[in-house]
Amino acid sequence: MSRRSSGKSPVVWRCTRLDALTPRELQRIHVARQQVFVVEQACVYQDADAADEEASHLCGWTPAGELLAYARIVDAGLKYAEPSLGRVLTTSAARGTGLGRELLRRAIDCATAAYPGAGIRISAQARLEPFYVEVGFTRVGEPYLEDELPHIEMWRAG
């Protein structure tokens, strides 16, 4: 666990496998993912999936246990040959604070530590391309629909 002050209160960061999450932490992760991806983006799809079991889960928590930011680091060989980031989100309480950029940097660090030199491949919502470009991702190929939203494949060298 690591702490960093972001704005008004400290953020407690933890990157762990599914089995190390408490039931309460897992519940808060699923609620946040459903709120952001299903409700806010009006996209009906199966959020919790088998990839959760083959991934590390990076969470930014308040000291009181409120989830502020989350990303899933999927093991190499599951979705792509390389590790992949997904389900990247900040909750409404954390938006506009810069926490999303810190989350992305930390997720890259977690993936790189687990798979040195492997690079990272993602399927990003097309509207977020500039966000990912800021941290070294480049577009690979043309836009496509995933869960009825425009996406692009992106790559970051290891």
The confidence score (pLDDT) of residue 35 equals 92
- Burial (0-12, 13-18, 19+ Cβ within 10 Å), 114: middle
Rounded average pLDDT over 116-136: 95
pLDDT category at 153 given cuts 50, 70, 90 is very high
The confidence score (pLDDT) of residue 12 equals 96
Residue 125 within a domain: no
CATH number at residue 8: 3.40.630.30
Residue 151 within a domain: no
> What phi and psi values does residue 62 have, to the nearest 5 degrees?
-75, 160
Instruction: Report pLDDT digits (tens) over 71-125.
Output: 999 999 999 999 999 999 999 999 999 999 999 999 999 999 999 999 999 999 9
Residue 152 within a domain: no
Instruction: Report pLDDT digits (tens) over 3-61.
Output: 544 445 689 999 999 999 999 999 999 999 999 887 887 777 777 788 999 999 999 99
Residue 150 within a domain: no
Residue 11 within a domain: yes
Residue 44 within a domain: yes
Residue 156 within a domain: no
Which tokens is 50 given? 């088998």
Number of domains in the chain: 1
Structural domain including 14 reads 2-117
Residue 147 within a domain: no
Rounded average pLDDT over 138-155: 93
